[in-house]
Every structure is written in structure tokens, then in C-alpha cells.
Structure 1
Amino acid sequence: MAWFYLVIGGMLEIGWAVGLKFSKGFTEVVPSIVTVILIILSFYFFSQAMKRISVGTAYAIFTGIGAAGTAIIGMVFLGEYVSFFKILFIVLLLACIICLKLASNQQEQSVRDAK
């Protein structure tokens, strides 16, 4: 369940990061309120995930999901610049997130085996 919470928190991070753009420096009321709600929910799920996942792994994955997702949303929906290298590095970031998850599973299995 912790990994589910971490993914939800990361996805909500995408929402609040994009929301910051639409809030225009918190000068637009409705986007600002939505952004603050998404920030609170994002950190709630992130904190729940850290009850079971180490802080380093959880934070790296949380921010990685947010960074990659926000960059993709920016390119696909907000007309931001797209380049081969930008896509390559987003793919590499996602690959690193997957590898962190796999490495974390191996560590958890080793801890269980030792008990």
C-alpha cells in the first residue's frame, strides 16, 4: 500500500506543479485554492508512503514522478519546447525510478530473509 500512496502523491505533485502555473503566482483565486488542496493531499500521501519506504527512496521517486510528469504535461498540453534530449532524459528518469523501486524490493526481501 505504501507504493500506491507514493505514486498517488507523485501524481498529485504533477497536479499542483501545473496548478502553480495557472494560479499566476497565487493571484487567480480558484486555481490557487485547487493548487493548495493538491499540495496538501500530495504531501499527505507522500508522508503515508514514508511510513514503510525509506526517505531517500521515497523522496527520489516522489520527485521523479512529479518532474517527469510535469515535463510531459508541459510538452503535450502547454506547448513547451520538445526535443530529442528532453524526451531521452525523461525516459532515463523514469528508468531510474523503476530501478529504485526494484532495488528497494530487493532490500526489503533481504531484510525479511534475515528475520
Structure 2
Amino acid sequence: MAWFILVIAGMMETVWAIALKYSHGFTKLWPTLIFLLAGGLSFWLLSLSLRTLPVGTAYAIWTGIGALGTVLFGMFFLGESKDWIRLVFLSLLIFSLVGLQITSET
């Protein structure tokens, strides 16, 4: 269950990062509120997963999921580059996250 909670926490990290962009320096109400809600939920879920998961592994996976989701959102919805080398590095990130999960003690 801790791994499932951690994945949801990582997804919420993606949400708050995107909301942060759309908040325009916290001058837009709804994106700012989404940022606060998703950020709080993300940290809370991360803290729940840390009850049983190793902190180094959980934190790396949490940030990795957030980074991966944010980059993919930028590529598909904000017109950011989809160069092949960028896709290679995203693949390496995915392999790293899977490898950390596989080698985790919990």
C-alpha cells in the first residue's frame, strides 16, 4: 500500500508544479489554491509512505514521478521539445525509478 500512496504523492507533485506555473507568481486565485491543495496532499501522502519505505528511495521516486509527469505535461500540452535525446533521458529516468523500487528493501 505504501508504494501506491507514494505514486499518488508523486502525481500530486506534478499537479502542484503545473499549478505553480499557472499561478503566475501566486497572482491567480484558482491555480494558487490548486497548488496549495496538491502540494499539501503530496507532502502528506509522502509522509504516510515514509512510515514503511526507506526515505532515500521514497524521496527519489517521489521527485522522479513529479519530474517525469511535469516534463511530459510540458511536452504534450505546452509545446516543449520532444527531441529524441530528451526522450532517451526520460527513459533513463523511468528505468532508474523502476530500479530503485526493485532494489528497495521494503
Question: Structure 1: which 5+ residue stretches go unaligned?
Answer: 109-115
1:35 is displaced (CA, Å) by 0.8
Q: Structure 2 length normalisation: TM-score?
A: 0.97
Report Cα offsets for 1:7-42 as digits up to 9, x if no partner: 000000000001111101111011101111000000
Report SS of the residue matched to 1:71: helix
Offset at 1:62?
Answer: 0.2
Which runs of structure 2 are paired with 1:67-86 in the superposition (5 Å)? 67-86=67-86
- Provide the C-alpha distance between the structure 1 equivalents of 2:25 and 2:53, rounded to a whole number of angstroms: 33
Q: Give the structure with the higher percent helix.
A: 1
SS at match of 1:82: coil
Identity within the alignment, %:
45
Between Structure 1 and Structure 2, whose CA radius of gyration is higher?
Answer: 1
TM-score normalised to the size of structure 1? Answer: 0.89
Q: CA deviation at 1:49?
A: 0.4
Q: d(CA) in 2 for partners of 1:88 and 1:94? A: 10
- Runs of 4+ in structure 1 off by over 3 angstroms are none
Aligned to 1:92: 92
Aligned positions, number: 106
Instruction: Give the match's secondary structure for 1:24.
Output: coil
1:9 counterpart residue number: 9
Cα distance in 1 for partners of 2:15, 2:78 equals 13
Residue 81 of structure 1, CA deviation = 1.8
Q: Which residue of 2 aligns with 1:26?
A: 26
